[in-house]
Structure formats: C-alpha cells, structure tokens
C-alpha cells in the first residue's frame, strides 16, 4: 500500500446524537459521536480503539448507515452517501461483522440461510444452484465444514459462529468491511485463528477494514493505522507502530501504558500511567476537551475549547492543547 | 506448611447429558502472602477449582474426591457450618461481574456491613465505621455518602472496588479473584490491578488470581498454573512459564497472543476447538489439538513431572528421549519439589 492510494472511505465531521428521555417531557442529547473525521485508504486497515461508551461502535454503525447520521458527510469511493438509493448501492459494497456471535445470528435460520440472506436481498444469483454453490464456497473460505450447511447456529461454538457471521458479511463480495469487536468474545487460541483469517481474507479479496476493538494488542497486530476515541471524539490518529511506541495524547499514553503486557519482565519494569477517576457519562460530557477531568496535564484552556485534531508529525494527528508543553 | 493444599481434586457436574468432569485431578499448594495465577480458556475448570475450594458450586456440581486442606483443616465434607465460618472471613472471593454480584435492592453500606456483622463481634456502629474505613482503603471518594447509595449509582470500576472492600473487610488469609478485571476497561483495569497489588502489600493476604488474560498474570503473579480441560498442564514461577514453557498448550497460548515482536506476522493459533468434557479421551486431553502429539499421548495421560525445582509440566514430550530409550517413566517421577508443590 502506498501513500498515493486513494481514499475509499472519507468521513467528515460525523455527528450522531441520541435523544435520551430524562423525565416527563424532558430529553437530553447524548453525543455518542461528536465531530469525527477520518479516512481509510483502499486496502488499508484502520483500527478504532477506545473504552466502552466512547462511541466507537456508533461510528461503525453510522458509517454502515444502520443509524442515520445527525450531521456530517460520508463519502465512499468518491461519492457522497445521501439518498436511500445511495445507501442501497453502498450496502452492496460494504458489510459489517458484529461482536456477539451469539445474538447476531438468527437461531431459527440454518447456516445456509443466514449466509444466503444477503444474496437473496441483493438478488446476487441467477438460480438456486448458483446460490447453493456460492454459500458452500463461502463456508469453505471461512473454514467451515460444508456438510454443516443445514445446521442451526446453536450447534456451533463461539469461534465457528463468528466464522458464520464473517461468511455472511463476505457473501456480497464487499470491498469494505466494518469489523465491530469481532474477536472480543472469543478465547485466546480461537481469537488467533479468526485474526489470521481476517488477514488472509484481506489479501485474497482485497478488502478494506475498519477494525473496531478495545484490545490494543489485537488492534495493533491487525491495523495499518490506529485512531483513538474518547467520549465521542477522536483524540489521536497515527500509524499502528508509531502510536504504540510514541503516543502523544495524554489519554493514549495512559491507555498504552495500561495494557497488561504478557511478559513478566516488561510488566515489572513498565511504569503504568494510572488515571484517576472514571470516564464521565456522555450525557454530562465536560466542556472543552472531554479528557480534561482525568488528564494530569489539564490547564484552563482545556475547559474552554475542544482542541482540533491537527498533525503533530507526518501522518500523526493529535487533538491536545498542551501538546507542546507536555512532550 | 502451606496455607492451602489442594490434592487430587475431582469436581463433576451431573447433567442430564451425563457427568461433566470439570475439574479432573488438580493439586496445588498456596503459601501465605503469595499470588497464584490460574490461567486457562473458558471451560478449562479454573473457576470451578476456586468454587470447589469454597464449596459454592451450583446444585448439580459435586466434589467427587480429593482434599482441600486450609490452615491444617480439611474442608471437603467438613459441613456447611464450618464453611460458613470460613467463607468471607478467612477465604474471600470477588467475582467477574461487578454488575450482578451486588444486591441491587440494598444500599452498598448495608451489604458491606453484612459481612462484618456476620463474622465479628463488632456493634452496628463499629461495623459501620469499619465499612467506611474499608471504602476509604479502596479509594472510594466520600465514603460516608457512598455508604447510603445503591449499586446502580456506582460505575463498573467503583462496584469492583466495593466488592474488594467487602471481600477484605474481615482481613482474609486468601482472596480468590475470579476474573476481577475482565468486565472492565483497560484504564480501569489498571486501577484495580494497582489497588489489588497495593492492598496485598498492606494486608499480606495470599491471592488466587483466576483469569484468561496472560497480561494480567504477567503483572501480578508469583506462581502460575495453566489449566486445560479440567487438569493442570503446567505449573511454575511466572518467569518459568513465560520464558521456558514446557507444555505444548502453554506454548500455543503464548504464540496465540499478539505482541510487539510478532506484529505484522501471522499468529500461530492452536488449531481445533477445546474438547468436549462429556467425552474425555483416555490420553492427554490436549493431544487432539497438539501438533507434536505422539502415540503415547493418545493412549496414556501424562502425569506432572518436574522440569526443575520451580517448574512442572504434564507433557510426554519432555521425556521423549527417555521414552525412545525405553526407560520406564515412573522412574522420572519424584515425590516433592521446592515450594511444597506435590506431584500427582
């Protein structure tokens, strides 16, 4: 992949607010995603990390048009997605893999019907024979035994179910796949099998991924670039190795140092930057920089305005007012 | 003498489908003030081992055989009254899910005081004072105010702090932590690990840390037990397990996790899926997924053998050359190794 590769996905100033009832006739805006911009090049994997409630899943779902964006634009392959016909066109090229392999598969459908459903919706086959062949080849591709096509989801283990979900996402031969925590529910040994499969499929089918996860070691392994979210906002975007080795934003620094590293010697030497306090509720997000309530470097200016995401080095964007003072 | 000695523990669940041997011959020792990690994947029996020690198994589960000796006292078949005096008092447990392990209808203060009132002779006022003291110890802000609040008013990390305060209120000798940070975010997990290490230094209790996360093990544990399909496949000091793994399953686990050194490369997962506990093979339970499995692995289960004084593993490959030379394996088994860790 080169720098000249063009952007397949461009997200600009994306906002998604939910209206939450807080009492009789009272409601409040929950800013799940607040002014997020990023782009993904063709063939690239962008990792999106953050803690629970930071809005990373909402970014994925809004991008897939499962939620209607409150504001902002999504440009796919040079074309902005606006009208319903844009959306249905987009969904022939983009797919999503969900986190929970237990609840994202219909228990009353057989595996072949689950994988075949996107084909039915997009009328992607000429006859029954072709439909069946495509389902079986998809099952083979994700490492499922084709003899199991007529079984139901409950007859499979977690790892196998996730493979069914992946086969379903790949059914329409997408170019772009949103992977929403696809390995979080799996055991370590199974997780590694599925991560390898994502790698292979990307090479075979020339896929572009938005890989959403909270496990930094997994994201670092699979991603080319990583974006870090905190309370609905992007705080840092950079190459995977760069952000892991030289995190600049105080939140990213703490996040990277908090990862329990599976090596006793490194773990003993590691100086964890332990943050005080909890993540504020997105319903009462602090003014200015959302991280300032937990930030060891917060100053007056941080309460006044949200710093913009700007390049601190080539390909390394950070949103912090006090970047100069702390680095 | 070790504080806790578990010897050849067998725990089964009797289900309509048959007997599920969840724990199948587990033995280990825990010395006072040490941190023992039990690592394994779901269904490996790590939680059931801990629940068997405390005898808090669900009704279909039963300790079939084996012994659990705590501070010189045999706990298996010792009766519910004995266990009641030990649970929450001398051996405490914190659970994975801080959302469901607190009672939503009682205030946090009342739940904290319950354990103290049950196990000590303190008056209500003294118990309240003690509860506030405990909340302060686990870094809960404004403990007096927090006492009157209900669990729903606490965040996940705060609830886990309350659970720790409750577990430590009677200054137990052993704290069993069953995946205490799994449900928490990374930065909150770091807070809780810090807190547990800090409290362990202050109060000097032993900890049994049950987790699937090798990272948590690396940070906290002196000694590590690796479990697979209800039995221990490897046991040793943290350094031995991480830098000198001698069981194919442990090696596979290490290769499966993404690290800095293998970034960008393919991971080497363990192929296949964990075995069905209803149909255990007679040989090594890991043999069906093991790349290096030999004939003997399928025929006969390997007993734990000592690799060195800090390390034991149950893998025939470690005695491969002896096997090929026709040496009887029983000769390689020794009675006792350092730390009082016993062989099967």
Residues of A with CB under 8 A from a CB of B: 51-52, 157, 159-160, 187-193, 195-196, 199, 214, 216-218, 220-222, 240-241, 244, 254-255, 257-267, 272, 274-276, 278-279
B325 vs B314: CA distance, rounded Å:
19
| Residue B324 reports pLDDT greater than 80 | no
For residue B327, the model assigns a pLDDT of 62
Buried b (16+ CB within 10 A) or exposed e, A192-222: bbbbbbbbebbeeeebbbbbbbbbbbbbbbb
Domain annotation covers residue A268: no
The 10s digit of each residue's pLDDT in B156-185 is: 888 999 999 999 999 999 999 999 988 888
Nearest-CA neighbor of B113 among B169, B158, B176?
B169
For residue B329, the model assigns a pLDDT of 52
- Decide which of B34 and B268 is more confident: B34
Three-point CA angle B115, B117, B119, nearest 5°:
70
**Domain at A12, CATH number:** 3.40.50.300
**Contacts by A86-92 with C-beta closer than 8 Å and gap 24+?**
A90/A65, A91/A64, A91/A65, A91/A122, A91/A172, A92/A122, A92/A172, A92/A174
| Residue B113 reports pLDDT greater than 90 | yes
Describe the crossing of helices A250-258 and B186-203 by its angle, rounded to 10 degrees.
Answer: 60
For residue A313, the model assigns a pLDDT of 87
Domain annotation covers residue A155: no
Nearest-CA neighbor of A257 among A274, A276, A242, A279?
A274
Give the DSSP letter string of B303-325: PPEEEETTEEE--GGGGHHHHHT
Altogether, the residues listed in chain A come to a count of 327
ipTM above 0.85, yes or no: no
- A126-150: average pLDDT: 91
The 10s digit of each residue's pLDDT in A191-208 is: 899 999 999 999 999 999
Which residue has 């362990």 as its token pair?
A: B200
For residue B334, the model assigns a pLDDT of 38
Answer yes or no: are the C-beta atoms of A171 and A93 closer than 8 Å: no
Query: β-strand B231-237 against B311-313: which pairing, if any?
Result: antiparallel
The 10s digit of each residue's pLDDT in B211-260 is: 999 999 999 999 999 999 999 999 999 999 999 999 999 999 998 888 77
Q: Which of B194, B263, B273 sits opposite A221 (nearest CB)?
A: B263
For residue A22, the model assigns a pLDDT of 80
Domain annotation covers residue A50: yes
Domain annotation covers residue A70: yes
Domain annotation covers residue A204: yes
DSSP label of A37: E
Domain annotation covers residue A235: yes
Q: How far is B218 from chain A (nearest CA, A)?
A: 4
> Does the beta-carbon distance from A218 to B258 stay under 8 Å?
yes
Nearest-CA neighbor of A76 among A175, A5, A171, A203?
A175
Instruction: Read off φ and ψ for residue A277, nearest 5 degrees.
Output: 75, 175
- A117-138: average pLDDT: 91
As for how many domains chain A has, the answer is: 1
**Contacts by A319-325 with C-beta closer than 8 Å and gap 24+?**
A319/A233, A319/A234, A319/A235, A319/A236, A319/A249, A319/A289, A320/A235, A320/A248, A320/A249, A320/A250, A320/A289, A321/A289, A322/A297, A322/A298, A323/A248, A323/A249, A325/A297
Answer yes or no: are the C-beta atoms of B307 and B318 closer than 8 Å: yes
Domain annotation covers residue A72: yes
Q: Which domain holds residue A234?
A: 7-93+174-246
Q: Which of B161, B185, B261 to mutate to test the interface with A (most CBs of A within 10 A)?
A: B185
The 10s digit of each residue's pLDDT in A236-288 is: 999 999 999 899 999 999 999 888 888 888 888 877 888 887 888 888 888 89
Domain annotation covers residue A325: no
And the tokens for B338?
């350092």
pLDDT band at B60 (very low <50, low <70, confident <90, very high): very high
What residue in B sits closest to A45 (Cα-Cα)?
B264
- A298-317: average pLDDT: 91
Chain B residues near residue A221 by CB distance under 8 angstroms: 258, 262-264, 267
């Amino acid at each position: 992949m080169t720098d000249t590769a063009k952007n397949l996905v461009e997200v600009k100033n994306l906002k998604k607010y939910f209206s939450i009832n807080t009492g009789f006739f009272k409601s409040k805006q929950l800013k799940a995603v607040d002014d997020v911009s990023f782009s993904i090049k063709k063939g690239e994997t962008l990792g999106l990390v953050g803690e629970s409630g930071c809005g990373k899943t909402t970014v994925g779902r809004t991008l897939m048009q499962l939620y209607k964006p409150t504001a902002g634009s999504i440009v796919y392959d040079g074309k902005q997605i606006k009208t319903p016909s844009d959306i249905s066109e987009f969904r022939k090229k983009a797919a999503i893999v969900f986190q929970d392999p237990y609840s994202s598969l219909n228990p009353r459908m057989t595996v072949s019907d689950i994988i075949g459903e996107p084909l039915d919706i997009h009328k992607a086959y000429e006859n029954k024979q072709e439909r069946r062949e495509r389902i079986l080849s998809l099952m083979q591709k994700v490492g499922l035994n084709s003899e199991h096509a007529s079984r139901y989801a409950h007859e499979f283990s977690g790892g196998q179910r996730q493979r069914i979900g992946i086969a379903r996402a790949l059914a329409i031969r997408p170019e772009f796949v949103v992977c929403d925590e696809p390995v979080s529910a799996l055991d370590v040994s199974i997780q590694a099998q599925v991560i390898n499969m994502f790698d292979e499929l990307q090479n075979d089918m020339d896929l572009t991924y938005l890989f959403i996860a909270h496990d930094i070691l997994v994201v670092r392994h699979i991603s080319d670039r990583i974006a870090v979210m905190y309370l609905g906002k992007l705080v840092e975007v950079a190459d995977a190795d760069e952000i892991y080795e030289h995190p600049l934003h105080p939140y990213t620094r703490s996040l990277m140092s908090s990862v329990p590293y599976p090596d006793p010697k490194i773990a003993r030497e590691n100086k964890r930057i332990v943050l005080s306090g909890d993540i504020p509720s997105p319903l009462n997000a602090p003014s200015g920089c959302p991280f300032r309530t937990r930030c060891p470097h917060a100053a007056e200016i941080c309460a006044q305005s949200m710093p913009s995401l700007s390049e601190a080095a080539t390909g390394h964007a950070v949103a912090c007012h006090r970047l100069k003072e702390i680095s | 003498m070790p504080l806790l000695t578990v010897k050849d523990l067998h725990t089964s669940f009797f289900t309509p489908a048959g007997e599920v041997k969840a724990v199948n011959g587990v033995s280990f020792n825990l010395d006072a003030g040490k941190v023992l990690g039990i690592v394994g994947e779901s269904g490996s029996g790590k939680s059931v081992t801990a629940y068997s020690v405390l005898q808090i198994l669900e009704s279909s589960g039963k300790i079939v055989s084996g012994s659990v000796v705590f501070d010189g006292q045999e706990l298996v078949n010792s009766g519910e009254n004995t266990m009641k005096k030990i649970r929450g008092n001398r051996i405490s447990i914190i659970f994975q899910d801080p959302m469901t392990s607190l009672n939503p209808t009682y205030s946090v203060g009342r739940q904290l005081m319950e354990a103290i009132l049950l196990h000590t002779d303190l008056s209500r006022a003294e118990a309240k004072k003690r509860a506030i003291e405990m909340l302060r110890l686990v870094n809960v802000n404004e403990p007096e105010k927090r006492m009157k609040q209900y669990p729903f008013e606490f965040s996940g990390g705060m609830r886990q702090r309350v659970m720790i305060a409750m577990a430590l209120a009677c200054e137990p000798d052993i704290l069993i932590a069953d995946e205490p940070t799994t449900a928490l975010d990374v930065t909150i997990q770091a807070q809780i690990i810090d807190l547990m290490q800090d409290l362990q230094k202050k109060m000097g209790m032993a900890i049994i840390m049950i987790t699937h996360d090798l990272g948590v093990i690396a940070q906290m544990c002196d000694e590590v037990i690796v479990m697979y399909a209800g039995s221990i496949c490897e046991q040793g000091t943290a350094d031995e397990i991480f830098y000198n793994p001698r069981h194919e399953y442990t090696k596979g686990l290490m290769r499966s996790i993404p690290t800095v050194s293998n970034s960008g490369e393919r991971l080497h997962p363990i192929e296949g899926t964990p075995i069905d506990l209803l149909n255990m093979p007679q040989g090594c339970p890991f043999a069906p997924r093991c790349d290096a499995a030999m004939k003997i692995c399928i025929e006969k289960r390997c007993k734990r053998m000592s690799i060195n004084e800090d390390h034991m593993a149950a893998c025939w490959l470690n005695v491969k050359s002896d096997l090929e030379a026709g040496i009887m394996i029983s000769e390689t088994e020794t009675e006792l190794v350092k730390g009082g860790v016993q062989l099967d």
